[in-house]
Amino acid sequence: MQTPPPFRAFIGIKYWPTWLGLGLLFILAWMPFPVRIKAGEILGQLTCWLGKERRYITATNIAICFPELNASEQKALVQQCFQENGIGLIETISSWVRKKDSFKSQVTMIGLDKLKAAEAQGNGVLLIGAHYSTLDFGGILLSIFHSFAATYRPHGNALFDAFMLRGRLSNCDEIFDRNDIRGAFRHLKQGKTLWYAPDQDYGPRHAVFAPFFGRPAATITAASRFAKANNSPTFLIRHHRIGRTAQYEMELLPFPDSFPGNDELSDASIINSMVEKAIRHYPAQYLWMHKRFKTQPGGKPMSPYIDIATPNHRLSEQQYTQVITGAQKVSELQEVYDYKLPSGLWLRQYPGTINKRSYLPHPAKIFDRHAKNLRMQGFEAITIDNFFRIPPMKLSAATYFVPSGPMLSQLPRKLVPLQELAKFIAKLHNKGFYCKNPGPDHFIITEDSFAILDPTDFIFEHKPVSLKKRRIGIINLLQNLALEKSEGDVFFSEYAKAAGLKVSQAG
């Protein structure tokens, strides 16, 4: 069980901004409901405007999960998500500082009798929840009618975490750190109710890839283990605000008899399916700001969150030496070295250090930006994993994934897939990517198409490449491939068709 530290531990100057923010939210928590709603909407809009990366993550999630919506509908849903979560933050503070009985008349409970009957069996009850904007407020609403314990993930801000822990303990019997599995098991074995939300991506460890809105999502398997531990009846708990009214709906849905089973993937699929159906009641009230699809079976290159900040780590000379121990030097060009690491990752080393916050055009950042531009436009390219800055050695480095497959230069000329290459180059040009002097060392042959090995050789012009530049690039590529005239004619013909040009324009 968690015990919050005393507030006197947070009197330092560094906590003053947090105190100010909590103070403002505390005042709003006691305002009339319409004021709280309007303030939440404004807070959400401000967060949407300032939080470029969170806005991008939300938009990516919405595009994945609601492909039936057109672009303007998806954009509107993103805006609504931020508004709902702004309202949810004020509701959260309200749940931590106000007496729960004052909210009793605002909630409609569905299925409470089934929950009471299940707990009476003496095997404990597992409630599977999700991260809705009303998460903490849902806790206070349930506590009015039924006692329970919950798991939680500590917040990075120590003061906010202490405030959160105190607030949640005022409504819950116990609070368990998400890593305190034994404590949560013990609670169930005592015949009590445990609220657990398994809908976030904590990485591949103890997880399976179960479908969520039609896409694989790393889903932790602890939920089915909790249910099996004491043969506990399991319910999905759904809680939503009804429009802009001061009314809330909470529903408890029993899981099918097949849960939990002997297959972790099947169990995780059932959970995700039920959570998905609950989200669809009020899609905007879900926490879409979380990178739910971050962990993918194919690793980071398959993550849909391409345009987010690349982690930037500081290393000592000893730590960096350990990183490149056993590495094979692959190339060297003007003090820039490429290594292939024992892990399978590649590493590019640069002179000079990357400033963590600066947007100065360090070569490593250019390397990363060009790769992201390509991937965001649907081209396979290298994927930067991490930046490293090593001040004692005045060096920087970037580790990256290289798409699997042979380089075009490794194939005999007669085996070069000219028609497929022509289509690929046409697509690059149409999407605005230009390389003045492309050669066989630029391209990797993948199972489906081609990939770009060094993205810094390609300039993104944000508009289709001009005819003049197309001709220069194509002529240089064919010369570098040392193709015969008949082969060049095949390439030109296929290129023109794929690019939507006449053969005379391509040539």
231 in any annotated domain: yes
Cis peptide before 260 (omega within 30 of 0): yes
**238 and 364 both lie in a single domain:** no
Q: Is residue 302 part of a domain?
A: no
DSSP for 355-411? -SS-----HHHHHHHHHHHHHHTT-EE-EEEEEEEEGGGTEEEEEEE--SS-BGGGS
323, 345: one domain: yes
With respect to residue 300, please indicate whether it lies within any of the assigned structural domains: no
- Are 385 and 423 in the same domain? no
Q: Residue 13, Cβ neighbours under 10 Å: how many?
A: 6
Cβ atoms of 253 and 245 within 8 Å: the answer is no
Q: How many Å separate Cα 151 from the centre of its chain?
A: 21
378 plus 465 within the same structural domain: no
HSE (CB half, 13 Å, CA atoms) of 443? Answer: 26
Say yes or no: 358 and 459 in one domain. no
Q: Are residues 359 and 499 in the same domain?
A: no
The domain of 455 spans: 408-506
Please indicate, yes or no, if residue 352 is contained in any of the structural domains.
Answer: yes
Residue after which a domain boundary falls, among 401, 419, 447: 401
Give residue 482's pLDDT. 87
SS3 label, residue 251:
strand
**Cα 124–Cα 128–Cα 133 angle in degrees, nearest 5:** 135
Angstrom distance (rounded) from CA 43 to CA 86: 5
Q: Residues with Cβ < 8 Å from 391, sequence gap 6 or more?
A: 314, 353
Query: Which helix (DSSP H) or strand (DSSP E) does residue 205 occupy?
Result: none
Q: Give yes or no: residues 326 and 246 share one domain.
A: no
CA distance 362 to 312: 13
**Domain assignment of residue 121, yes or no:** yes
What Cα–Cα distance (Å) separates residue 146 from each residue in 100, 113, 139, 174, 237? 12, 10, 10, 13, 13
Residue 88 lies in a domain: yes
pLDDT for 155 equals 83
**449 three-state secondary structure:** coil
Residues 269 and 139 both lie in one domain:
yes
Residue 99 lies in a domain: yes
Amino acid 503: pLDDT = 59
User: Looking at 366, 401, 436, which one is the last position of a domain?
Assistant: 401
The residues facing 333 across adjacent strands are 336
329: CATH = 3.30.200
Whether 148 maps to a domain, the answer reads yes
Out of 401, 435, 456, pick the residue that ends a domain: 401
Question: Reduced to 3 states, what is the DSSP secondary structure of residue 435?
Answer: coil
Same domain, 491 and 371: no
| Contacts with 481 (C-beta within 8 Å, 6 or more apart), sequence order | 413, 416, 439, 440
In single-letter form, the type of residue at position 291 comes to K
Looking at residue 6, the DSSP 8-state letter turns out to be: P
Task: DSSP for 148-176, please give it.
Answer: -EEEE---SSHHHHHHHHHHHHTTSS-EE
Tell me what pLDDT residue 271 has.
96
Q: How far apart are alpha carbons 344 and 334 in whole angstroms?
A: 24
Here the tokens at position 213 are 């809105």
Contact 150, 196 (CB under 8 A): yes
Are 278 and 212 in contact, with CB atoms under 8 Å apart? no
Give the pLDDT score at 6. Answer: 83
Which is it for strands 312-314 and 383-390: parallel, antiparallel or unpaired? parallel
Residue 333 structure tokens? 């060009």
Domain count, the chain: 3
Per-residue model confidence as pLDDT tens digits over 219-243: 999 999 999 988 999 999 999 999 8
**Quick one: pLDDT at residue 67?**
96
Q: Could you tell me the CA-to-CA distances from 311 to 116, 290, 354, 365, 386 in Å, in that order?
A: 47, 17, 12, 11, 5
- Asked whether residue 393 falls in the same domain as residue 448, the answer is no
Would you write out the chain's pLDDT as a tens digit for each of its 507 residues? 567 788 888 888 988 999 998 898 889 889 998 999 999 999 999 999 999 999 999 999 999 999 999 999 999 999 999 999 999 999 988 888 888 888 888 999 999 999 999 999 999 999 999 999 988 889 899 999 999 999 888 888 888 888 888 888 888 888 888 888 888 889 999 999 999 999 999 888 889 999 999 999 999 999 999 999 889 999 999 999 998 888 999 999 999 999 999 999 999 999 999 999 999 999 999 999 999 999 999 899 999 999 999 999 999 999 999 999 999 998 877 789 999 999 999 999 999 888 766 556 789 999 999 999 999 999 999 999 999 999 999 999 999 999 999 999 888 877 888 899 999 999 999 999 999 899 998 999 998 889 998 899 999 999 999 999 999 999 999 999 888 888 888 898 999 999 998 755 555
Question: Which pLDDT does position 396 carry in this prediction?
Answer: 93
Report field, pTM of the whole predicted structure over 0.85: yes
The whole-angstrom separation of Cα 178 and Cα 193 is: 16
| Residues 144 and 272 grouped into a single domain | yes
pLDDT at 100: 84
d(CA 85, CA 60): 17
Are 372 and 263 found together in one domain? no
Report d(CA 96, CA 391) in Å as an integer: 45
CATH number of the domain encompassing residue 475: 1.10.510.10
Cβ count near 422 (within 10 Å):
23
Q: SS3 helix, strand, coil % of the chain, rounded to 5?
A: 50, 20, 35
Which is it for strands 248-254 and 149-152: parallel, antiparallel or unpaired?
Answer: unpaired
CA 358 to chain centre: 24
User: Which helix H or strand E contains 505, and what residues bound it?
Assistant: helix 503-506
Residues with Cβ within 8 Å of 71's Cβ and at least 6 positions away in sequence, in order, are none
